[in-house]
Homo-oligomer: A and B are copies of this chain.
Amino acid sequence: MIRVTVWNEYIHELRNPKVAEIYPNGMHQAIADGIRSDFIHVRTATLSEPEHGLTDAVLDETDVLIWWGHMAHDQVDDKIVERVRDRVLNGMGLIVLHSGHFSKLFKSLMGTTCGLRWRETDDKERLWVIDPSHPIAEGLPPFFELEMEEMYGEHFDIPAPDELVFASWFEGGELFRSGCTFRRSRGKIFYFRPGHETYPTYHNKEILRVIANGVRWAAPTPGSRPLYCENTPPLEPIKPKR
């Protein structure tokens, strides 16, 4: 059983009726409902909860954290960002969705600006599988489509990903590395592009399949040793030299 926490800033849904119509209980609930299974236990957390719902108690019971944020990146408390980041470095999996590319958390793990091109014009998005035997692509066809999405285009300012699993073609003429894996310290990180709040992306079955696959991929490796920086005696004799 993998224990997942879906975190959402949960603001657009409360302010914008169009978004509320698509996600009446918030995007976090749509994602949670879409990936819950006999093997995946899901809870949710949002920005307005105490400690943004990301207390040590919650994180103690989280194997993989899913992150959606957009307009309130700056309202996320630096201390919580640091706490979550430490968990990732110590092995908690992390799935960063869509506009989460600009979250403090993701930027601090990447070390780059994470900038990109963007546009809201109802582009068709077609996601191509670049790495067909990757576990995150399991069960997917060679490509799948979203009728309308926000466009994200290159250059996407991230470190070269460890693995490129998906890339997106956009109707308006751009492309994007839309499914990227990164490993940082003991944590596995999957960035997945789709999910603008004004489209029903998190009701799409291929998208939910990718996220569920990502959860399984990002789950911690059992028995992983804590991080360290330590003074350590020689294992072999050192010859005197002077």
Q: Which A residues are closer than 8 A to B by beta carbons?
A: 89, 91, 102, 108-113, 115-119, 121-124, 126, 128-135, 137-139, 141-142, 147-148, 151, 153-155, 157, 159-160, 162-164, 167-175, 177, 182-188, 220-225, 227-236, 238-242
Residue picked from A108, A135, A238, most chain B C-beta under 10 Å: A238
Are B159 and A183 neighbours in the complex by a CB distance under 8 Å? yes
Residue picked from A123, A138, A167, A185, most chain B C-beta under 10 Å: A185
Contact with A230, one of B117, B224, B229, B234 (Cβ below 8 angstroms)? B117
Are B123 and A225 neighbours in the complex by a CB distance under 8 Å? no
Are A148 and B241 neighbours in the complex by a CB distance under 8 Å? yes
Are A110 and B113 neighbours in the complex by a CB distance under 8 Å? no
- Nearest first, the 10 closest Cβ-Cβ pairs linking A and B are A173-B235, A115-B229, A172-B234, A133-B186, A173-B236, A109-B111, A112-B185, A111-B111, A117-B232, A128-B154
Assembly CA distance A179 to B47 (angstroms): 42
Are B174 and A169 neighbours in the complex by a CB distance under 8 Å? yes
Contact with A225, one of B142, B148, B184 (Cβ below 8 angstroms)? B142
CB distance from A3 to the nearest CB of B (A): 18
Are B123 and A221 neighbours in the complex by a CB distance under 8 Å? no
